[in-house]
């Protein structure tokens, strides 16, 4: 286990360097001038040159990268934004809880939908429930997230007035007239639903397929031959095995989603990482982009390790070999 | 009363291509403590027969008719609760592939224990003690410790021993073994067969042994049922079947057994392949592959009839007795005296 962790950490290091370098390369390939964007269209050439020097953009790209890495390793600082001079660390730490709220709430919602529907439709293939579920899956997978978000906003938020249409309230901080768990959840109902629909659809299909496969396994027949009632066969023999791959998928999906659920955040005006990423790219804000990329990479790496550990814990074949 | 009496069992599967008559009118019976071998090629319906008896292939589109009387109760029509009480308790089953028949995520001890706790009102500790006892009986070293191991920590032969232990844990009256040695290597096969033979003496269970290998049943069976294309073609006490086989298909099976005491270049093989059960041939189902075929075989389906002078020996072939005697002697000259293998 120890050697495994060391290997994992080394890989994380390699991945980290690769991702940051690629981000730099892509950024400098794009024909745009961050310095001009930072000072505005009407600035004189001298101002632009000064800004360029101030931001360090007049140095060769590899030197810029080395400086960036040095600052990150020595001071754990991602630097300051090109456009508004804000501390990148601080901005990301403000946006991350918003995205995390959206993602974890969404995960709970989508699993709450996908588990029962997936299992029931596997138990009764071609039944009315199964067919209805498959139509839902088809819609969920085909419909663009933005469209689903807008439709929900229009009907539930605007027409019916049941939920707020946009905005975010902090889970703990109640200053500013909005905050606390109730307001937080109230504002997130629509974003959670929007975010969960696509994943719920994908997971229903995956869980259904896994459960159906597992029901044909020989050891399930063995359990029946022992005289086990159907409920026990399902619980103890089918589900335990069928849900193993779901754990892996879930871990990876959470890791990726934590880097920003761009569409959902955009539609509902949530100040999360996804929206931050879009605005930083629009403003050619290199430190901010790098910051978000690094944060998402860390999330993905962390969740992959978590999945591996969890998997080893629930699957004896991996734990003991 | 026979322990299990199967009468005119039919299992038909509805598929997109039509109705597959996987078992088509099979009858046999087995007495307490005896061993019955069911022999035939892959796909002849021998496994489906046993799964049907156990109620384990009840998928949609399956129709089952006939009777399977276990101690006088019909397994095919009883309610599912009663059937569950019998499964694993009075009738236990061992499957072909020990590598996939045990649940990979549960400890061996828990899987054995489950079988006990489902049918006995005992504590977990008592179930564990019984499990240890059974693992010892099937020859697994360090039984107590190995209860906490997972299936992947056992070899194929050891897993089959675990499966046997699990089947015997409730002292069943009948053990159905569906090709229990097919997936194992030859030395392990012999060990498993010896083990089953020894355990039968110890536990007194009757055994139905399904196999495609006549050599396997020659040693341990009392009676043999030969199946071909979803039907029984010959049925006899083991000695009769080996010394006086009466059906050309049985001759083919016996002729294709390798023998050590004769010098042959090639094994005899039955030409062709088994017919589709979607659309079996008219008349005798073996007629397209039979080298003794004559007019009547293609028109009429032979019924299972007792052999003259041997009421326990049943066969379904129109050939006259003289031809059969003659062919029999030829076969015997090739010599498989004293059984096979």
DSSP B311: E
Do residue B114 and residue A221 have CB atoms under 8 angstroms apart? Answer: no
Span B243-267, pLDDT tens digits: 889 999 998 888 877 766 666 666 6
Q: Which residue of B has its CA nearest to A241?
A: B105
% of chain B with per-residue pLDDT over 70: 95
Span B161-213, pLDDT tens digits: 999 999 999 999 999 999 998 888 888 888 888 899 988 988 889 999 999 88
Residue A11 has pLDDT above 90, yes or no: no
The two three-digit tokens of residue A91, written as one number: 């901005």
Residue B341 has pLDDT above 50, yes or no: no
Helix (H, G, I), strand (E, B) or coil at B7: strand
Do residue B163 and residue A222 have CB atoms under 8 angstroms apart? Answer: yes
Q: In what order do the strands lie in the sheet with B310-315?
A: B91-94, B174-178, B206-211, B35-39, B223-228, B231-237, B310-315, B305-307
**What's the whole-number average pLDDT of chain A?**
87
Query: How far, in Å, CA of A199 to CA of B334, rounded?
Result: 68
Residues near A159 by beta carbon (within 8 Å), at least 6 away in sequence = none
Residue among B117, B326, B339, B331 nearest B220 (CA): B339
Query: How far, in Å, CA of B192 to CA of B245, rounded?
Result: 27
Q: With bands split at pLDDT 50, 70 and 90, how would you rate the model's confidence at B46?
A: very high
Do residue A226 and residue B85 have CB atoms under 8 angstroms apart? Answer: no
Among A217, A223, A316, the residue with its CB nearest the CB of B150 is: A316
Span A214-251, pLDDT tens digits: 999 999 999 999 999 999 999 999 998 999 889 889 98
Helix (H, G, I), strand (E, B) or coil at A129: helix
- CB hemisphere CA count around B330 (13 angstroms): 12
B262 φ/ψ sector (left φ>0, alpha ψ -120 to 50, else beta): beta
Residue among A146, A147, A144, A120 nearest A134 (CA): A120
Among B95, B114, B152, the residue with its CB nearest the CB of A228 is: B114
B-side interface with A, Cβ within 8 Å? Answer: 54, 56, 84-89, 92-93, 95, 97, 100-107, 114-115, 118-119, 150, 152-153, 163, 166
Residue B340 has pLDDT above 60, yes or no: no
Span A171-198, pLDDT tens digits: 877 776 777 888 888 889 899 999 999 8
Look at residue A321 in the predicted model and tell me its pLDDT. 58
By the 8 A CB rule, do B122 and B130 touch?
yes
Superfamily of domain A89-319, CATH level 4: MetI-like (1.10.3720.10)
Do residue B105 and residue A241 have CB atoms under 8 angstroms apart? Answer: yes
Look at residue B211 in the predicted model and tell me its pLDDT. 92
- Residue ranges per structural domain of chain B: 4-225, 243-334
- Residue ranges per structural domain of chain A: 2-75, 89-319
Query: How far, in Å, CA of B330 to CA of B335, rounded?
Result: 9
Q: Beta strands of A97-213 (E only): which ranges?
A: none
Give mean pLDDT, residues A126-138: 91
Helix (H, G, I), strand (E, B) or coil at B69: strand
Beta bridge partners of B7: B67
Which of A212, A222, A232 is the best substitution to test chain B (most B C-beta atoms within 10 A)?
Answer: A222
Q: What is the pTM of this model?
A: 0.82
CB contacts of A242 in chain B (<8 Å) are: none
Look at residue B337 in the predicted model and tell me its pLDDT. 36
A-side interface with B, Cβ within 8 Å? Answer: 217-219, 221-229, 236-237, 240-241, 244, 314-317, 320-321
Its CATH class, for the domain covering B4-225, is alpha beta
Query: SS in 3 state form for A258-282?
Result: CCCCHHHHHHCCCCCHHHHHHHHHH
Residue B308 has pLDDT above 90, yes or no: no
Which of the pair, B4 or A12, is modelled with greater confidence? Answer: B4
The two three-digit tokens of residue A136, written as one number: 């839902």
Q: With bands split at pLDDT 50, 70 and 90, how would you rate the model's confidence at A104?
A: very high
DSSP B246: -
Which of B54, B95, B105, B169 is the best substitution to test chain A (most A C-beta atoms within 10 A)?
Answer: B105
Span A287-296, pLDDT tens digits: 898 899 889 8
């Amino acid at each position: 286990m120890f050697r495994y962790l060391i290997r994992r950490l080394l890989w994380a290091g390699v991945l980290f360097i690769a991702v940051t370098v690629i981000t730099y390369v892509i950024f400098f390939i794009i024909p745009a001038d961050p310095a001009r964007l930072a000072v505005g269209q009407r600035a004189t050439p001298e101002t632009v040159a000064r800004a360029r020097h101030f931001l360090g953009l007049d140095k060769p790209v590899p030197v810029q990268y080395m400086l960036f890495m040095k600052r990150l390793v020595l001071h754990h600082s991602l630097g300051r934004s090109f456009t508004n001079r804000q501390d990148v660390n601080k901005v990301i730490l403000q946006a991350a809880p918003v995205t995390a709220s959206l993602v974890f709430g969404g995960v709970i919602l989508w699993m709450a939908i996908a588990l029962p529907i997936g299992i029931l439709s596997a138990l009764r293939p071609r039944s009315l429930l199964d067919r209805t579920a498959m139509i839902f899956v088809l819609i969920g997978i085909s419909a663009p997230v933005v469209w689903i978000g807008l439709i929900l906003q229009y009907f539930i938020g605007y027409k019916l007035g049941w939920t707020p249409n946009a905005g975010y309230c902090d889970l703990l901080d109640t200053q500013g007239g909005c905050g606390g768990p109730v307001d937080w959840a109230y504002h997130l109902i629509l974003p959670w639903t929007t975010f969960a629909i696509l994943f719920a659809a994908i997971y229903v299909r995956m869980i259904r397929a896994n459960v159906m496969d597992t029901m044909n396994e020989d050891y399930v027949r063995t359990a029946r031959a022992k005289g086990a009632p159907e409920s026990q066969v399902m619980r103890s023999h089918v589900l335990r095995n069928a849900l193993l791959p779901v754990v892996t998928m879930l871990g990876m999906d959470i890791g990726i989603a934590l880097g920003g659920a761009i569409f959902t955040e955009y539609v509902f005006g949530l100040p999360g990482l996804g929206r931050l990423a879009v605005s930083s790219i629009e403003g050619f804000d290199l430190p901010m982009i790098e910051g978000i990329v690094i944060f998402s990479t860390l999330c993905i790496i962390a969740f992959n390790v978590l999945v591996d550990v969890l998997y080893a814990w629930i699957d004896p074949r991996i734990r003991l070999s | 009363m026979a322990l299990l009496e199967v009468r005119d069992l039919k299992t038909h599967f509805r598929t997109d291509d039509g109705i597959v008559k996987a078992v088509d009118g099979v009858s046999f019976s087995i007495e307490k403590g005896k061993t019955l071998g069911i022999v035939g090629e892959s796909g002849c319906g021998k496994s489906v027969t046993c799964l049907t008896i156990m109620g384990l292939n009840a998928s949609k589109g399956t129709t089952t008719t006939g009777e399977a009387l276990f101690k006088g109760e019909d397994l095919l029509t009883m309610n599912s609760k009663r059937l569950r009480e019998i499964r694993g308790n009075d009738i236990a089953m061992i499957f072909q592939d020990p590598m996939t028949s045990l649940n990979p995520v549960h400890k061996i001890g828990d899987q054995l224990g489950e079988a006990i706790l489902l049918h006995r009102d005992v504590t977990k500790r008592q179930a564990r003690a019984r499990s240890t006892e059974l693992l010892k009986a099937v020859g697994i070293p360090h039984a107590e410790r190995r209860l906490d191991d997972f299936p992947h920590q056992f070899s194929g032969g050891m897993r089959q021993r675990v499966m046997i232990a699990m089947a015997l844990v409730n002292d069943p009256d009948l053990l159905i073994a569906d090709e229990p040695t097919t997936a194992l290597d030859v030395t392990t096969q012999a060990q498993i067969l010896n083990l089953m033979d020894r355990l039968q003496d110890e536990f007194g269970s009757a055994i139905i042994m399904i196999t495609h290998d006549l050599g396997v049943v020659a040693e341990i069976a009392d009676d043999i049922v030969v199946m071909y294309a979803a039907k029984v073609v010959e049925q006899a006490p083991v000695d009769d079947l080996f010394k006086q086989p009466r059906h050309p298909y049985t001759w083919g099976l016996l002729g294709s057994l390798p023998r050590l005491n004769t010098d042959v270049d090639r094994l005899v093989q039955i030409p062709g392949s088994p017919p589709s059960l979607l659309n079996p041939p008219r008349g005798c189902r073996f007629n397209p592959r039979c080298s003794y075929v004559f007019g009547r075989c293609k028109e009429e389906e032979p019924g299972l009839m007792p052999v003259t002078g041997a009421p326990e020996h049943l066969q379904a072939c129109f050939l006259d007795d003289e031809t059969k005697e003659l062919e029999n002697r030829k076969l015997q000259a090739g010599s498989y005296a004293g059984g096979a293998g």
